[in-house]
Homo-oligomer: A and B are copies of this chain.
Amino acid sequence: MNRLKCTIAYDGTSFSGYQIQPSKRTVQLELESALAKMHKGEHIRVFASGRTDATVHAYGQVIHFDSPLSIAGKQWKRALNSLLPDDIIIRSVEQVDSNFHARFDVVSKEYRYKLSIHPDQDVFKRNYLYHFPYELDYISIEEGITYLIGTQDFTSFCAAKTEVNDKIRTIYDINIIKENDEVIFCFTGNGFLYNMVRILMGTLLEVGQGKLKPYQVKEILEKKDRSYAGKTAPGHGLYLWKVTYDN
């Protein structure tokens, strides 16, 4: 058996998220269908670094699977890309140690959230940027961000229905890149809870609009209650950008 690690990109627009669900079009379903075609119908289970929700994109999602086939990385890439629909692209394939696990071995993850601040909606970017044509105070946003960095209990910043018990995570950095009419928020951390980046983003937008004071971000964290944080920003602005592993 060979264990293969793949870095994949997908356009989340037409998917009901990453994970398999009955009678829904999901990324995992498409990946496993393509692999079944390469393995005479045999089911090959795919493991991802984590799920993504409906409409959320990935530029650098990482998956692994096991295969008895002996194929070089470049040929794997070509074969899978020829079998996959055009909204999923295999960016690279490499053979890894049989102990590697795409989910359990994650060291850090980067998510990016992309805003368009142009006054008008751009029809060609409507599924790829969150259109937010409102004045933002970046000094307040940067101050709000300082309270989020570090190891903390992020209960207030995850969907109320989240089932994991341990809601302590470490955010290493939140960087803002401005390019013409696009503003990109880059979130790096050791892991993120369900809806966490979207709730962080929604809250920072409220800080930027003056609806929340920067120090209230600290108060929201201390409440450990989802209802105090801002709205969940829409999925289509979010990208799972990069997953980092130890070597």
Interface residues of A (CB under 8 A from B): 9-11, 57, 86-89, 91, 120-124, 126, 128
- The answer to whether B124 touches A128 (Cβ under 8 A) is yes
16 CB contacts below 8 A, A to B, read: A9-B122, A9-B123, A9-B124, A11-B123, A11-B124, A11-B126, A57-B124, A86-B123, A87-B123, A87-B126, A88-B123, A89-B120, A89-B121, A89-B123, A91-B120, A124-B128
CB distance from A53 to the nearest CB of B (A): 17
**In the complex, A128 Cα to B128 Cα: how many Å?**
12
Which residues of B lie under 8 Å from residue A89 when comparing CB positions?
120-121, 123
Q: Looking across the interface, which residue of chain B has its beta carbon closest to that of A92?
A: B120
- The answer to whether B86 touches A126 (Cβ under 8 A) is yes
**In the complex, A193 Cα to B126 Cα: how many Å?**
31
CB distance from A14 to the nearest CB of B (A): 10
Which residues of B lie under 8 Å from residue A120 when comparing CB positions?
89, 91
Q: Looking across the interface, which residue of chain B has its beta carbon closest to that of A8?
A: B123
CB distance from A110 to the nearest CB of B (A): 17
Q: Which 7 A-B pairs have the closest CB atoms?
A: A89-B123, A9-B123, A11-B123, A86-B126, A124-B128, A11-B124, A89-B121
- For the complex with contacts A10-B123, A89-B120, A91-B120, 15 further pairs of A-B residues with Cβ separation under 8 Å are A9-B122, A9-B123, A9-B124, A11-B123, A11-B124, A11-B126, A57-B124, A86-B123, A86-B126, A87-B123, A87-B126, A88-B123, A89-B121, A89-B123, A124-B128
Q: Looking across the interface, which residue of chain B has its beta carbon closest to that of A89?
A: B123
Q: Looking across the interface, which residue of chain B has its beta carbon closest to that of A120?
A: B91
Q: Looking across the interface, which residue of chain B has its beta carbon closest to that of A87?
A: B123
Which residues of B lie under 8 Å from residue A10 when comparing CB positions?
123
Which residues of B lie under 8 Å from residue A121 when comparing CB positions?
89
CB distance from A121 to the nearest CB of B (A): 6
CB distance from A131 to the nearest CB of B (A): 10
**In the complex, A124 Cα to B212 Cα: how many Å?**
34
**In the complex, A128 Cα to B9 Cα: how many Å?**
17
**In the complex, A124 Cα to B128 Cα: how many Å?**
8
